[in-house]
């Protein structure tokens, strides 16, 4: 087990990949948005462990409030709804993306400017807390720039 941990720890990590316990966080990004607007954070969560975990909250100094959200179908309309947590089962990868699970940055205190990075703290039930940086992309971005 320790050899496996050492092998993973020895791998070079890209500047936009992070870990918290058994959770690997990849490609955190956001779209450019104006001050007082609402922004969103997107990323991937991969559970490399044997126990389930859940993203239970997030915080960012750039926003007045931060909530975990998903999209649900309400008749013919997709609506955003807050969720208490985002589960990540062992061996599972969950993508937070436009139109799915995402992190809402409500009441931005300053604009999210393309080409900058925004600090975001993620809190997991088991893995604990980790600080990541959202790479701010163009307002209409779909995150394609992060797929290598």
Note the pLDDT tens digit of each residue in 12-67.
444 469 999 999 999 999 999 998 999 999 999 999 999 999 999 999 999 999 99
In a domain, residue 23? The reply is yes
In a domain, residue 106? The reply is yes
Nearest C-alpha neighbor of 140 from the set 79, 96, 98: 98
Q: Which residues does 141 contact at the CB level (< 8 Å), separation at least 6?
A: 29, 31
Nearest C-alpha neighbor of 141 from the set 41, 35, 31: 31
In a domain, residue 37? The reply is yes
In a domain, residue 41? The reply is yes
In a domain, residue 1? The reply is no
In a domain, residue 4? The reply is no
Question: CATH number for the domain including 20?
Answer: 2.60.40.1890
75: exposed, middle or buried (Cβ count in 10 Å: 0-12, 13-18, 19+) = exposed
The structural domain count of the chain equals 1
In a domain, residue 83? The reply is yes
pLDDT at residue 7, as a whole number: 41
Query: Where residue 141 falls among pLDDT bands split at 50, 70, 90?
Result: confident
Residue 1 has pLDDT above 50, yes or no: no
Q: What is the pTM of this model?
A: 0.84
pLDDT at residue 49, as a whole number: 97
In a domain, residue 57? The reply is yes
pLDDT at residue 39, as a whole number: 96
Domain that residue 30 falls in: 13-146
Beta partners for residue 117, in sequence order: 135
pLDDT at residue 143, as a whole number: 66
């Amino acid at each position: 087990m320790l050899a496996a941990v050492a092998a993973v720890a020895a791998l070079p990590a890209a500047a936009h990949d992070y870990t918290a316990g058994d959770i690997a966080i990849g490609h955190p990004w956001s779209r450019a948005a104006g001050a007082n607007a609402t922004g969103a954070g997107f990323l991937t969560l991969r559970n490399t462990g044997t126990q389930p975990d859940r993203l239970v909250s997030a915080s960012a100094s750039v926003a007045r409030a931060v909530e975990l959200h998903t999209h649900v179908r309400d008749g013919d309309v997709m609506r955003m709804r807050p969720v208490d947590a985002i589960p990540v089962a062992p061996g599972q990868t969950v993508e937070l993306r436009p139109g799915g699970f995402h992190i809402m940055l409500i009441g931005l205190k300053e604009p999210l400017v393309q080409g900058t990075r925004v600090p975001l703290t993620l809190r997991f039930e088991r893995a604990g807390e980790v600080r990541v940086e959202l790479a701010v992309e163009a307002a209409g971005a779909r995150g394609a720039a992060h797929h290598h």
